[in-house]
A and B are shown apart, each in its own frame.
Chain A
Amino acid sequence: MIDFFTTHAPVLTIVVFIFGALLAPVFGRINNSLSYYCALITTALSFVLSVYLLFSVYNNAPLEYLLGGWKPPYGIEYRVDILNSFILSVVSFVSFLSVIYGYGSIKSEIYEKRHPAFYSVYLLFIGGMMGILITNDIFNMYVFLEITSLAGYALIAMGRTRYSYMASFNYLILGSVGATFFLIGIGYLYMQTGTLNLTDLAQRLQGHFDTNVVLVAIAFIVVGLMLKMAVFPLHFWLPDAYTYSPSVISAAMAGTSTKVAAYLLIRLMYTIFGIQAGFSGINFSGIIIVIASITILAGSIIAISQTDLKKMLAFSSIGQIGYILIGTAMVNKYAFAGGLLHILNHAMMKTALFMVAGGFFYKFTSTKINDLKGMGRQMPFASAMFLILSLSMVGIPLTVGFISKWYIILGAAQSGYWIVVPVILLSSLLTAIYFGRVVHNLFFKDSEASNTGILHAKIPYSMVSSTAVLVFLCIFFGVFAYMPVEISLKAAENIIGAMPWK
């Protein structure tokens, strides 16, 4: 029985989402709140399965699953190793907490009859991301990327103002262009090698890296994925998309969707392009480190001048994705572990920050920073959580943000990319500036008399409890950091030391 479970666990992680997304509207016709329980059970099941997969592959060989029984070059294959299952666990955990948070939050933001449809599209959104993480076939990655993006466009359009339609439309145009660039890159790779399986591609691309076809393919794939990840020059869809969407969706998207695109880039860079062996004289690591450094600084600088809390957090997210890229582009065990840890940390911190912003909106229907003056007295618990999360984003020791920055700086010093160290330190200072402004408004200013009236007297327990869990984990993994660090170091060893992929 356990054997059956272990063999079929990779595909069951995706199939529960198919069933959940289709059962939620059917149950919603019977009773509106049954669709909430459907979403809750689905995300809980997938979280349990992801953690089970992580423990299965931690000391053993990667799990492979052949869809339809067809052997690898002919059929689609799912492959789970430590990198995959770690990010799977992070994504499913964040989505589970977002569903709990959403129980209280969407009552005031989305029209009552649309709740079953909302949960159904949300489950497709998360299911698409789990599919990207688990598959080993490059065209399957494109299909799941489009599933996630389409669900994302629909979810953003459910926001509370009428500008959310325009935000969703801008994201649609730019996201589709990015995915089409990815498709062109896949076409070029297929032209050169004749296969779509990642393992097979890695073997067949050896020695072809100076042909024009492969170089153009790399260019298209990297640009397409950078559009999806919102690195600096191509980030224009992200601030509007995160600001004008419902609070739940801002929290869930900020924690997951850009990270999954970053995982895709990491997987393609290390597995088929072989960044650790260097190729044809182009310093690929150097290019990505420069672009990522500009992203970190630009995101932090633009965030200082914002007046809306959610927009500031969105620009901060643009900056943080640069940390992940810098950490994983330096081909070094400690830096890679730092980048991977930052995926976990940023998912926890940014999701919790958007949840707190949603809590402020629930009480006062405003997310402007000026309206938050003196809220430290009226909402002490939420403001305390915001303070702890700000300290974690800056990187104070004893919180989880410190661990990932420490490992990235350690790796940078070890591998000789000294330019990274002042960039990280400068951006921590800039982070302190823009978070410090909000904390100053919360605690050290008196509330003005013309504050917007209190909409609801009390924030529901579901919203408070999910945020509190994330904040507790931020401190817990900051102090007892043994488990995530060990997992990340082992994942780094496996990825960097495996070329050609076996």
Chain B
Amino acid sequence: MIEFIADKYNFWIAIVLMMIGFYAIIAKHNLVKKVIGLNIFQTSVFLFYISISKVNGGTAPIIWHPEGHAEVVYDNPLPHVLILTAIVVSVSVTAVALGIIVKLYKNYGSIEDDEIKLIEHNEPELDSK
């Protein structure tokens, strides 16, 4: 039982982070906290990808020719490349989300989503921006 947890500790950490991020998206009312939760959620996925690219006894996937060693074992570089792309996507989503939050604050004066719903319910304005 203890090997089940200790051998696969990287997957356990990824799952714990994923659930923390997901909880923050669902349960927090502040919009910035929701964006931070989304970031934590996506970061846990990156951790999961990179942890599956490790080869036993492998070193960083940059070619080097050491003297005295016959053959060098490298890690799998493909998930690293996938994660670079996914990090760019995550940064873009965060940037768009923060831009929308700035505009929301200018229009409503608050960044809590229940307050925004209340303001919209009480005084719905058409054609205002």
A and B touch in the complex (CB under 8 A): yes
A153 contacts the other chain (CB 8 A): yes
The answer, among A139, A163, A172, A190, for a CB contact under 8 Å with B93, is: A172
Contact B127 A143 (CB under 8 A): no
Contact A180 B34 (CB under 8 A): no
Contact A187 B45 (CB under 8 A): yes
Contact A150 B93 (CB under 8 A): yes
Chain B contacts for A366, CB-based, 8 A: 126
A275 to B113, CA, bound (A): 42
Nearest B residue (CB) for A367: B126
A183 to B42, CA, bound (A): 9
Contact A169 B100 (CB under 8 A): yes
Q: Please give the distance in Å from B17's CB to the nearest CB on chain A.
A: 12
Contact B49 A187 (CB under 8 A): yes
A366 to B38, CA, bound (A): 36
The answer, among A142, A163, A187, for a CB contact under 8 Å with B120, is: A163
A176 contacts the other chain (CB 8 A): yes
Interface size on B, residues (CB 8 A): 38
User: Taking each of A150, A176, A183, which has the highest tally of chain B beta carbons within 10 Å of its own beta carbon?
Assistant: A176
0/1 per residue, B100-129, Cβ < 8 Å to A?
A: 110110011000010011001000111111
0/1 per residue, B1-24, Cβ < 8 Å to A?
A: 000000000000000000000100
Q: Please give the distance in Å from A456's CB to the nearest CB on chain B.
A: 14
Q: Please give the distance in Å from B79's CB to the nearest CB on chain A.
A: 7
Q: Which of A326-362 contact B (CB under 8 A)?
A: none
Interface size on A, residues (CB 8 A): 29
Nearest B residue (CB) for A164: B129
A365 to B35, CA, bound (A): 34
Contact B52 A160 (CB under 8 A): no
The answer, among B25, B49, B120, for a CB contact under 8 Å with A166, is: B120
Instruction: Evaluate whether A161 and B96 lie within 8 angstroms (CB atoms) in the complex, with A180-B41, A184-B45 already known.
Output: no
Contact A180 B45 (CB under 8 A): yes
Contact A172 B127 (CB under 8 A): no
Nearest B residue (CB) for A143: B85
Q: Please give the distance in Å from B55's CB to the nearest CB on chain A.
A: 12
B92 contacts the other chain (CB 8 A): yes
0/1 per residue, A135-154, Cβ < 8 Å to B?
A: 00001001100100010011
A173 contacts the other chain (CB 8 A): yes
The answer, among B103, B107, B117, B126, for a CB contact under 8 Å with A365, is: B126
Instruction: Evaluate whether A173 and B103 lie within 8 angstroms (CB atoms) in the complex, with A139-B82, A162-B108, A187-B52 already known.
Output: no
Contact A169 B97 (CB under 8 A): yes
A142 to B86, CA, bound (A): 9
Chain A contacts for B97, CB-based, 8 A: 169, 172-173
A184 to B107, CA, bound (A): 36
Among all A-B residue pairs, the 10 with the closest Cβ atoms: A162-B107, A146-B89, A165-B104, A169-B100, A191-B52, A165-B103, A187-B49, A176-B93, A165-B100, A172-B97
Q: List 8 A-B contacts (CB under 8 A).
A: A139-B85, A153-B100, A165-B104, A165-B107, A169-B97, A172-B93, A173-B34, A183-B86
**12 new A-B pairs (CB below 8 Å) besides A161-B127, A165-B100, A166-B117?**
A153-B100, A163-B120, A165-B103, A165-B107, A168-B100, A169-B31, A172-B93, A173-B35, A180-B42, A183-B45, A187-B79, A191-B52
